[in-house]
Amino acid sequence: MIIETPSKVILFGEHAVVYGYRAISMAIDLTSTIEIRDIDGNEIILNLNDLNKSLRLNLNEIKNINPNNFGDFKYCLCAIKNTINYLNIEPKTGFEINISSKIPISCGLGSSASITIGTIRTVSKFYNKQLKDDEIAKLGYMVEKEIQGKASITDTSTITYKGILEIKNNKFKKIEGKFEEFLKSCKFLIVYAEKRKKKTAELVNEVAKIENKDEIFKKIDKIIENSLKTDNKEDFGKLMTKNHELLKKLNISTPKLDKVVDIGNRFGFGAKLTGAGGGGCVIILVNEEKEKELLKELNKENVKIFKCKMIN
Ligand SMILES: Nc1ncnc2c1ncn2[C@@H]1O[C@H](COP(=O)(O)OP(=O)(O)OP(=O)(O)O)[C@@H](O)[C@H]1O
Ligand SMILES: C[C@@](O)(CCO)CC(=O)[O-]
Ligand SMILES: [Mg+2]
C-alpha cells in the first residue's frame, strides 16, 4: 500500500500566529510518499530513501520506544508508536516502510508533519483501522509536540485536512467557497532560497525581543482580512509583499530572501518569505504572462524552484 501526503505553506501570519493572531496556511501538492508491506519475522524495517538510511527494530520494542534517540527516524518512529498504542494493537507480524519525499527538509514546508501524517495514515490502514481526520490530526500534533517539545497545530492540521486553513489560538477553521476557488486559480512558485541558519525556535525567541511586534502583528492581521476579501491576483500579490515588508521589521528576513522576493515582485504579482524565516523559502504568486522571465531571473540566483498548487 502506498500513501501520498501533501506539505504546507504559510500564506500570511507566520510569527503573528504564535501570539494569538491568525495565520493562513495552505496544503500544497509537494508530497511525501510512504509505502508499507508485511514481511516475515518479527521486525520493523524503516527505509528513509532520500537520506539513504535504514533501521531494523524488533516488533516488541516499538510500543515503548523513545523516538528522540533515533535521529532522522524520530518522526516516523513516534508516529508508528503513537498509532499502534492509540489503536491498542499488539503487532504480530513484521512490516517494512519505505519513505520518499519531494519536500525540501527543514525549510518551513512541514516535511516532518507530512512524514508524520503519512505514517499515521499508512500504519492505521495497514491494520485495517479507518481513523477520522480529527484523530489523525490530533495524533500528528502529539507526535510533533513529543519530538519538538512544543508545536502549533498549523502543519499537522493543514496537511491532514488539506485546502486552506485559518489558524488562531491553536484552533483552525477551513476556508472554503470564493477564496478557496480564487486560490485554486493561482499558480505559486516555492523558491528554496538558502539553508536556514537557525532553528524555528531560535527565530521565534528572537522575535519575542522585538518591542513593537504587536503593532506589526496587528498590521499583518489587517492584511489577512483584506486578502480574504480579494479575488484579484494583483491585489493579493501586493498583500503578500506588504506582509514580507512587515516580516523584515521583525528581522527574520535575509539579503538572499529579499533578493528572491524582489524578483518575485518584478516578474510576478507578489512574493514573501514563508515559515520561520532566517533562510528557507519564498512563495511567489506567478504572473503567467511573465513566468518565463521570472524563471530566467530566478535561475541566476542558484535557488531550488518548486511549482505547486493548492491541494484539497
Ligand atoms: N524525506 C524525508 N525522509 C526522512 N525523514 C524526513 C524527510 N523529510 C523530513 N524528515 C524528518 O523531518 C525532520 C525535519 O523536520 P523539521 O521540522 O526540522 O523541518 P520541516 O518540517 O521541513 O520544516 P518546518 O517544521 O519548519 O515546516 C528531518 O530531520 C527528519 O526527521
Ligand atoms: C514561525 C511560525 O509561526 C511558523 C513556522 O513555520 C512558528 C509556529 O507557528 O509554530
Ligand atoms: Mg517540521
Considering every ligand atom shown, identify the ligand nearest to the alpha carbon of residue 168 and give its number: 2
From ligand 2's centre to the CA of 213, what distance in Å? 15
Under CATH, to which class is 178-306 assigned? alpha beta
What was the pLDDT predicted at 296?
A: 97
Q: Give the separation between CA 224 and CA 221, rounded to whole angstroms.
A: 5
Tell me, using a 6 A CB cutoff, whether residue 246 lines ligand 2: no
CA distance 78 to 57: 13
Secondary structure string (H, E, C) spanning the chain: CEEEEEEEEEEECCCHHHHCCCEEEEEEEEEEEEEEEEECCCEEEEEEHHHCEEEEEEHHHHHHCCHHHCHHHHHHHHHHHHHHHHCCCCCCCEEEEEEEECCCCCCCCCHHHHHHHHHHHHHHHHCCCCCCHHHHHHHHHHHHHHHHCCCCCHHHHHHHHCCEEEEECCEEEEECCHHHHHHHCCCEEEEEEECCCCCHHHHHHHHCCCCCHHHHHHHHHHHHHHHCCCCCHHHHHHHHHHHHHHHHHCCCCCHHHHHHHHHHHHHEEEEEEECCCCCEEEEEEECHHHHHHHHHHHHCCCCEEEEECECC
Query: Would you please indicate which residues are annotated as catalytic (active-site) residues?
Result: 155
> What average pLDDT does range 182-199 have in this prediction?
93
Retrieve residue 10's grid coordinates: 504559510
Whether the predicted pLDDT of 150 surpasses 80: no
CATH topology of domain 2-168: Ribosomal Protein S5; domain 2 (3.30.230)
Q: What is the pLDDT of residues 232-254, one digit of tens each?
A: 999 999 999 999 999 999 999 99
Confidence of residue 199 (pLDDT cuts 50, 70, 90): confident
Predicted pLDDT at 149: 82
Residue 296 · residue 12 · CB < 8 Å: no
Residue closest via CA to ligand 1's atom 5 equals 72
**Spans of all domains in the chain:** 2-168, 178-306
pLDDT (tens digit per residue) in 58-105 = 999 999 999 999 999 999 999 999 999 999 999 888 999 999 999 999
Residue whose CB lies within 8 A of the most ligand 1 atoms, among 28, 33, 109, 115, for a mutation test: 115
Site to probe by mutation for ligand 2, drawn from 10, 103, 203, 272 as the one with most ligand atoms within 8 Å of Cβ, is 10
Judged by its nearest atom, the ligand closest to the C-alpha of residue 247 is 2
Q: Which residues line ligand 1 (CB under 6 A)?
A: 48, 50-51, 72, 74-75, 99, 101, 105-106, 108-113, 115, 155, 200, 275-276
Residue 139 and residue 82 in contact, taking contact as beta carbons nearer than 8 Å:
yes
Average pLDDT over residues 294-305: 97
Nearest to 183 by CA among 228, 145, 244, 245: 228
pLDDT tens by residue, 207-233: 999 999 999 999 999 999 999 999 999
pTM (2 d.p.)? 0.93
Instruction: Report residue 152's pLDDT band, with 50, 70 and 90 as the boundaries.
Output: confident
Task: Indicate which ligand has the atom closest to the C-alpha of 75.
Answer: 1
